[in-house]
Amino acid sequence: MNKHITIAGLGWLGQPFAASLIKKGYIVKGSVTDQTKVKTLKANGLNTYRVVLTETGTVGTTQLFLENTDVLAIMIPPGLRGNTGANYALKMAHFLHEIEASQIKKVILVSSTSVYDDSQGKVTEKDRPLPQLNAAKQLYEVEQLFFNTSSFKTSIVRFGGLYGGSRNPVRFLAGRKGLNNGDAPVNMIHREDCIGILTRIIKQDAFGHIFNAVTPQHPSKETYYTKQAINLGLEAPQYNKPAEEEIFKQVDSEHLSKVLQYKFKHSLM
């Protein structure tokens, strides 16, 4: 039985995921990179370790952190925005070796729909990603490393744009003018559905799969963000008219319904 859950990365998604699992009776522990956060989370009753991934290895009590784990959920931000030059794939390769040295047999790897290139148009899990950008290439490389290891079974969850709580992308777009790609479909998912999908994988022991985790509705950016701005009392963003026919990425899932029988709690329409 998948009772002991270890979460690598207690951030915006990891902390509420941990809290939800604990309420359901799971035994949960997690990791952060800052020692101050370790003390804070421990004071709040969450068994927490400091684990830092670097390009030369892992720092912290990694093997102690991985002990007594039925399922390891990895949701460590890659830190690849802004072309920092970080080698996320190398960091994760070191972490992979640590996991292989442990007794862990089941892993959930949180990835992103950014592994698909915009030029691919409509995609499902049946479509092989064709990443073009460095960040996307590294994400896909990490997916392959974890999915192809023989030491444990991995399920990969490719989340779309995340929203929920105080996080709403329209706050960064409100009032802006001259925006492009207004006709592009929105590929997003609410944090509550993220937690629901991750929990369903654990409960159904659904390992060895790839899941595109995106809300089924795909309104255009202009339609969606205009509505969101109005609902929040903000000035709607203004989009340029498309100059010509463009190919936009739309991420759909077949496995969420076929494998998990998951029904979304939040809609974008």
**According to DSSP H, which parts of 180-258 are helical?**
191-203, 221-231, 255-258
Could you give the C-alpha distances from 180 to 5, 19, 115, 239, in angstroms and in order? Answer: 42, 39, 21, 6
Ranges under pLDDT 50 in the chain: none
pLDDT of residue 81: 63
pLDDT of residue 85: 65
**How, if at all, do strands 57-60 and 47-54 pair?**
antiparallel
pLDDT of residue 245: 78
pLDDT of residue 5: 98
Task: Report the predicted TM-score, pTM, of the whole model to 2 decimal places.
Answer: 0.95
Domain covering 4-162+189-216+250-258: architecture: 3-Layer(aba) Sandwich (3.40)
- Dist CA 42 CA 28 (whole Å): 12
